[in-house]
Structure 1
Amino acid sequence: MSDPIIGSVKLDGVNFETWLLKFDKHGNCESKKTQQALLQHLRDTSPPAIVLFSHGWNNEYDDATGLYRRFLFELQRHFADHPPTIPLLFVGVIWPSTWMSFDTGPQIASATVAAELLDLQQQLSQRLAEEWAANLAVPDRQRLISLLASARLDQAQAKQLTDLLSQALSNIRGHVPEALESTAPDAGELFKALISVQRLAMSSVSADDTNDEAHALIGSLGDPQSAGLLDIFDPRNAIRIASLYQMKDRAGTVGTNGVSALLSQLKAAAPLVPLHLVGHSFGAKVVMSALASYQGEKIESVLLLQPAISYLCMARVLPDEPDRHGAFRDVATNVRQALMITYSGHDVPLHDFFHLALLRDKDVGEFAPRPASPSERAGKPPNKYAALGGYGPPGSDAPHANVPEAGDTSLRIHLGDPPLALDGTIDKRINGHGDVATPITAWLLYLQLRARVQP
């Protein structure tokens, strides 16, 4: 259903002109009239700058608009403290990133996590049959639904579940050209991921742990003293892992099929206006996939906030594979300013769990999961499937520095520099995956907007 709003919207407390565009899971724009009005508006009145922001996963319309409002409010405060203000035009991307494709769910991409859906088990049979099991044979579909509706699974049942989920994922994964993460996981990889996440949960997340991000990703495993590690599995953990693949691939599809075309349209409508891109979590996958397909004039800047993509996505050469490079190796050439990336050892989902749950066909083998103990640095990636937002890019591929505090103007932004990796671990300047709309993150965009870059 298309967005009934045609034209800009007013966000409470925000003075920047704001437009919101909705995309479906295939990357089709559902706000066509709003999009047409936006493009005509740009042709008639070119603003000094355009900022396009893509939210991360598990954000509904209200969640996304709330995130954008808070971020713009912080940006607005910086301009008030450091005039003059740049009267930018803001474009917020809304894409179906909700966990399990339900209308509500655990808000992993926000600072606090909503309670588990009380009627989750009742909804599974309906939605999974439509979304994940639609292309399975009828007996397999019924068995998948039955396993997912169970309270606990033994090892044989867990292996059967991961086999069925692998089949379902291979049927629904999105098109992401040359992406590192484009191959659906096989049953063995999903089962290994399930064991890894469960082992780490047993060792590092206690029943009374208040870390909402950790519990949102791995759930509650019950009393570890009451059963052996491999004797009991919670099917919800398999669901969570499978949903990560689904949303990650969907982000690539939305970026490749939808946002990439939007970038071309924005540049065509306002060719002289600098265009700045921001992506958080899987929203970084939206942005990077869009740029990988984009062939227009250069984008002014890109800011990736805690990106939930492979830390090797821009690598010149992949480990042990000299003939392969990162899927987004050349994206920076489409950007005038140095592409900016934030990461943090305090980002629990990306620093501790991403490399355990998202394993594909090129897995490096077994490894010992360990809880993070960040001090002043995020540390070295544990394997080649670590998250960019948890560890930053390889040191040889980008200079690393600390995330500056708001108001610090010492960070220099230059034309044509390699990507700049900013570690937010020190002083907890980025204290979690949900640290998105903060004075510090808004300051980074402020620096990009105010940069005076000459050809």
Structure 2
Amino acid sequence: MAELAGLPYIKLRFDAAGKRLDPPGPIAPPGVTDLIVISHGWHQDADDAEGMYATILGHLQDAARESRLIEGRKLGVAGVYWPSDKFKPDLTLEKAPNIPPGAGAGTALSGGGQDIGPAELRELAAAVARLLGLPEEEFGDLAIQARHGAGNADALIATIRSRLPEPEAVDELTRDEHERLLRRDLPGRVLFEDVKSGGPSGGGTSLPGAQDVGDVAASQAPAVNILGGPFAVVAKLLNQAAYFELKRRAGTVGEALGDLIDADGLPGVQRLHLAGHSFGARLVTAATSRMQTARPHSLTLIQGAFSHNGLGVRIPKGRDTIDGTFRNVVAEKKAGRVVITHTWNDHAVGLAYALASRASNTVASGLMRVTDRFGGAKDLHGGIGANGALRLEDGEWKDWTYDGAAVPGLEAGLVHNLKCDFIAGHTEIAVPGVGRLLLAAMV
């Protein structure tokens, strides 16, 4: 039997369509009382993911030995591996100049003409081509030409849409988040101009940027410079397509995982624990939502890259409201407890996710920061890893701050939104505090 961090270990590998790539066999190692199913997110290949799993599980075991909270249990691990590809979450944020010390929301930075280079755009295009199953060189040429807008942008977006599902096949919340990208009747040149100009040219409301903050942001809210040249505009469009595909794919693989767990039955396993990072949080939430017979003892979402409304109710939609995609996880109590980490230290969810979940951008260039209405609690496109789970019913949730220093006591039957500022960034989660939190969820 293989081991990971000293625990018996089984790999669960899936393709983009949710097909298990391993030979048929059990999900849980024999003789375990507690099975931990853990999933990675974007920007990780199999080696990266396995290293992350090993480090977090090592921290969990250290906390278990120190606290003696789960003595007598035998832990086993099923590591999920799925094709999330390995690319930057938002090149136009990562390549931007650093913010000067002390810059605030009202600080304007010059640099509207600053851009990424054609080689960097080709690198991003190649990664997105691999994600969507398109020829890399041909797609790279389309991306380079799309910087001119007009018919070139039409061709790029038409090629992307050829690999995306019809809108009717997408869950309602995700469809709303990416409505303009999915609309076959909206030319690519319109999306290009949306991003370039900072607002939907086909109607709609531009969002607040550095010069129009609106609601008061938290003092810890990040301020980030973004790039606005023509190559950067195309990069933002590619990121929107990639984010959509990763959301869709995580849901598909998650549903397949849920079916697999139900079919296996987990003989001998007394407690099932699901944990996921980034889009992997969406994956394990989709699995929990899908399960009909199995019921996780705990569901832990570490800096999740999906909507902060995903578990909620009465989300505004025009003159009507809808429920979150995974509302049944809470309404039907499909997990013993749900544990969610969130922090605005996570620019990838707080800013990049909020940008990529809309077909119109905030500002084409200049300084941008999280506010209530952009990336924050009042933004319908905000991420759960930035704000926790929102729009829950009274009595379903508990909000508090966790510093990572000790194993917290968690209540069964609740959604715990934990503000975890000890997590310094989206991928900086393989730290002792996260191991302690996983242990707390298992108790």
Could you tell me the TM-score, scaled by structure 1's length? 0.71
Write the distance in 1 (CA, Å) between the matches of 2:297 and 2:287. 15
Task: Report how far residue 294 of structure 1 moved.
Answer: 1.3
Q: Give, in whole Å, the separation in 1 of the partners of 2:46 and 2:254.
A: 18
Partner of 2:290: 293
Counterparts of 1:133-172 in structure 2, within 5 Å, are 145-150=140-145, 153-156=147-150, 159-160=153-154, 163-171=157-165
Report the Cα offset of residue 122 of structure 1: 8.3
Confirm or deny: 8 A CA contact 2:342 2:387 kept in the other structure: yes
| Deviating more after overlay: 393-402 vs 269-278 | 393-402
The whole-number CA distance in structure 2 between the counterparts of 1:160 and 1:144 is 13
Q: Which runs of 5+ in 1 are unaligned?
A: 1-7, 100-104, 135-140, 205-212, 222-228, 451-455
Whether the 8 Å contact between 1:302 and 1:335 is mirrored in structure 2 is no
TM alignment of 1:4-403, pairs within 5 A: 8-11=1-4, 14-33=5-24, 36-38=25-27, 41-42=29-30, 45=31, 47-83=32-68, 84=71, 86-99=73-86, 105-106=87-88, 121=122, 128=129, 131=132, 145-150=140-145, 153-156=147-150, 159-160=153-154, 163-171=157-165, 180-181=174-175, 185-186=182-183, 187=188, 188=190, 192-193=194-195, 196=198, 221=227, 229=228, 233=232, 235-256=234-255, 258-266=256-264, 268-270=265-267, 273-320=270-317, 322-332=320-330, 333-359=332-358, 371-372=368-369, 380-394=376-390, 397=393, 398-403=397-402
Query: 1:178 Cα shift?
Result: 5.3
Moved more, 55-64 or 391-400: 391-400
Letter aligned with residue 164 of structure 1: A
**What CA distance in whole angstroms lies between the structure 1 residues aligned with 2:327 and 2:128?**
37
CA-based RMSD? 4.1
Counterparts of 1:392 and 1:196 in 2: how far apart (Å)?
A: 27
User: Which residue in the other structure is 1:423 paired with?
Assistant: 419
Which AA in structure 2 matches 1:75? Answer: L
Amino-acid identity (%):
21
TM-score, reference length from structure 2: 0.73
Q: Equivalents in 2 of 1:423, 1:64: separation in Å?
A: 24
Partner AA of 2:390 in structure 1: P
* Count of paired positions: 383
**Deviation string for 1:241-287 (max 9, x for gaps)?**
3212122211111112x211222134x13265110100111001111
Amino acid at match of 2:385: G
Instruction: Give yes or no for contact 1:252–1:289 (8 Å, CA) kept in 2.
Output: yes
Counterpart Cα distance in 2 of 1:260 and 1:55: 16
Following TM superposition, by how much is the alpha carbon of 1:355 offset from its aligned partner in structure 2, in angstroms?
Answer: 1.6
Where does structure 2 lack aligned partners over 5 or more consecutive residues?
A: 96-116, 200-205, 212-221
Q: Specify which structure has the higher proportion of strand.
A: 2
Q: Distance in 2 between matches of 1:169 and 1:190?
A: 19
User: Which amino acid letter does the alignment assign opposite residue 427 of structure 2?
Assistant: G
How many angstroms apart in 1 are the aligned matches of 2:375 and 2:137?
44
Aligned partner of 1:224 in structure 2 is: none
231-240 or 433-442, which moves further after superposition?
Answer: 231-240
CA 1:189–1:277 in structure 2 vs 1: closer, same or farther (change >3 Å)?
farther
Which AA in structure 2 matches 1:263?
Answer: I
User: Higher relative contact order by CA 8 Å / sep ≥ 6: 1 or 2?
Assistant: 2
Q: Is the 8 A contact 1:251 1:286 kept in 2?
A: yes
Q: Distance in 2 between matches of 1:214 and 1:118?
A: 27
